[in-house]
Amino acid sequence: MSDEVNFTAKDGRFGFYFDQTLCNGCRACQISCKDKHDLPLGVNWRKVVEYVGGDLDGESESPNVFSYYTSISCNHCEDPICVEVCPTTAMTIREDGTVYVDQTKCIGCRYCQWACPYGAPQLNSDTGRMSKCDLCYDYRASGQNPACVDACPTRALHWGPIDELRAEHGDVAGIAPLPDPSITKPHLVITPHKDAQTWDEATGEIANSKEI
């Protein structure tokens, strides 16, 4: 895939592609996002989730132990629940399909945060308003990649028109511990880790729940 994406692409509907097989959990994407947007303590627009499980008792001759990482942010969904529940229309969809918070309308009620199955919107206690990933709108407008994409040392993250990403990488998005993708139709494509579980067979647990 080319590193250059046409920001004015008429098909719009931008989203993320994540290659789970390449992610080593370094959190460079998470740190770069936090630094770029100067986010306060406790607010992380991108998170790296470690998911573990399997037979850990040592009694099995072939123990099925697994561990993998998922880098996740707002998925700029096709049917964003955050937009539906927002009482002030602060949650807005741009022409390119990305979802952002209109700070002039937001009252910090947190309805969007409670409704989003990915927990993407987060309250910024410094401003009293909701905040979330906007797929680095300012960077994209100047021809740059989102901060998280350029920061990834293994190139596990990419972005672009979701139709193009799906044509190249498939349409898998429901990998545990993420929820059923039919709920919001996320603009997300995942190349699963070899041990990845689907959302409806999730037998593992999040290892870094306190962190995220």
CATH number of the domain bearing residue 159: 3.30.70.20
- Residue 161 falls within a domain, yes or no? yes
Contact partners, residue 142, CB within 8 Å, separation at least 6: none
- Coarse DSSP helix, strand, coil percentages of the chain, rounded to the nearest 5 percent: 20, 20, 60
- Give yes or no for residue 3 having a pLDDT over 80: no
Phi then psi for 84, rounded to 5 degrees?
-65, -40
CA quadruple 57, 68, 51, 42: dihedral sign: positive
Q: What is the pLDDT of residue 141?
A: 95
Q: Is residue 99 part of a domain?
A: no
Distance CA 181, CA 46 (A): 18
Q: Is residue 100 assigned to a domain? A: no
Give per-residue burial for 152-183: e unless 16+ CB within 10 Å, then b.
beeebbbbbbbebbbeebeebbbbbbbbebee
Neighbours of 124 (CB within 10 A): 19
Total tally of structural domains belonging to the chain: 1
Domain that holds residue 174: 14-75+133-206
The pTM of this model reads 0.90
pLDDT number for residue 212? 82
The answer to whether residue 176 is domain-embedded is yes
The answer to the question of residue 101 being in a domain is: no
Beta strands in 102-147 (DSSP E): 122-124, 129-131
pLDDT at 2 over 50: no
pLDDT, tens digit (0-9, with 9 covering 90-100), for 74-104: 999 999 999 999 999 999 999 999 999 999 9
Answer yes or no: is 88 within a domain: no
Q: For the segment 144-173, what is each residue's pLDDT rounded down to a tens digit?
A: 999 999 999 999 999 999 999 999 999 999
